Amino acid sequence: MRLTTPKFLPVYAAMCVALPAAAQRQAASRHDDVVYEASIRDLQQAMSRGTVTSVALVDAYLARIAAYDHSGPALNAIIYLNPSARADAAALDAERKAGHVRGPLHGIPVIVKDNYGTRGMPTSAGTIALASLETGDAFQVKKLREAGAVILGKSNMHELASGITTISSIGGQTCNPYDPDRNPGGSSGGSGAAVAASFAAIAWGSDTCGSIRIPSAVQNLFGLRPTKGLSSITGIVPLSHTQDVGGPLARTVTDLAIGLDATIGPDPADSATHLLDNKTIPRFVDALDTTALRGKRLGVLMGYFGTEVDDQQGARIVRAAIASMKARGAEIVDVTIPGLDSAVNSASVIDYELKPDLMEFLAAVPNAPVKSLAAIIDQNLMHVALDEGLRRRETRGSRESAAYAKALAQRIVARNVVVSFLDANKLDALVYPTMTRKAAFIGEPQRGANCTLSAVTGMPALSAPAGFTGDGMPIGVELLGRPLDDARLVAMAYDYEQATRPRHAPSTTPALVDGKAPKPVTIVAVAKDGNAVARGTMTYDPTRRALAYAVTVTGVPASHVFTLSIDRDSAGKKGDMIRHLAGPGTLAAKGTLILTEPERRELLTGRLSLVAYTREQPTGAMRAALATPR
Which residue type, as a one-letter code, is found at position 546? A
CB proximity list for 112: less than 8 A, separation 6 or greater: 118, 138, 140, 141, 144, 151, 154, 155, 191, 203, 204
Which one from 113, 143, 154, 355 is the annotated catalytic residue?
113
CA distance 40 to 63: 18
CA distance 397 to 354: 7
pLDDT value of position 15: 36
Q: CA 64 from chain center: how many Å?
A: 16
Count of other CB atoms within 10 angstroms of residue 119: 16
Count of other CB atoms within 10 angstroms of residue 224: 34
Question: How many alpha carbons fall within 13 Å on the CB side of residue 588?
Answer: 0
Annotation marks residue 187 as catalytic:
yes
CA distance 511 to 576: 32
Q: Would 13-500 and 521-625 be classified into the same CATH topology?
A: no
The radius of gyration computed from the CA coordinates of the chain, to the nearest angstrom, equals: 26
CB proximity list for 101: less than 8 A, separation 6 or greater: 48, 95, 148
Three-state SS for 238-272 is CCCCCCCEEEEEECCHHHHHHHHHHHECCCCCCHH
Per-10-residue mean pLDDT of the chain, 630 residues long, equals 41 32 38 92 98 98 98 97 98 98 98 98 98 97 98 98 97 97 98 98 98 98 98 98 98 98 98 97 98 98 96 98 98 97 96 98 96 97 96 96 97 98 98 98 97 98 98 97 98 98 97 95 95 97 96 97 94 88 97 94 93 96 86
Annotation marks residue 211 as catalytic:
yes
For residue 149, give the nearest of 103, 96, 120, 109 by alpha carbon: 109
CATH of 13-500, one of 1.10.1740.10, 3.10.450.40, 3.55.10.10, 3.90.1300.10: 3.90.1300.10
CATH of 521-625, one of 3.40.190, 2.60.40, 3.30.450, 2.30.38: 2.60.40
Which one from 54, 211, 463, 565 is the annotated catalytic residue?
211
Domain residue limits, the chain: 13-500, 521-625
pLDDT value of position 569: 87
Peptide bond into 187 cis (omega under 30): yes
CB proximity list for 318: less than 8 A, separation 6 or greater: 305, 432, 433, 466, 475, 477
For residue 219, give the nearest of 247, 186, 259 by alpha carbon: 186
Helix or strand (DSSP H, E) at 577? strand 573-582
- Model confidence, pTM: 0.93
For Cα atoms 6, 193, 283, give the angle at the middle one, nearest 5 degrees: 135
Annotation marks residue 113 as catalytic:
yes
Which one from 162, 168, 169, 187 is the annotated catalytic residue?
187
CA distance 206 to 184: 15
Strand 150-155 with 109-113, pairing: parallel
Indicate the SS3 state at residue 575: strand
CA distance 110 to 88: 12
pLDDT value of position 582: 97
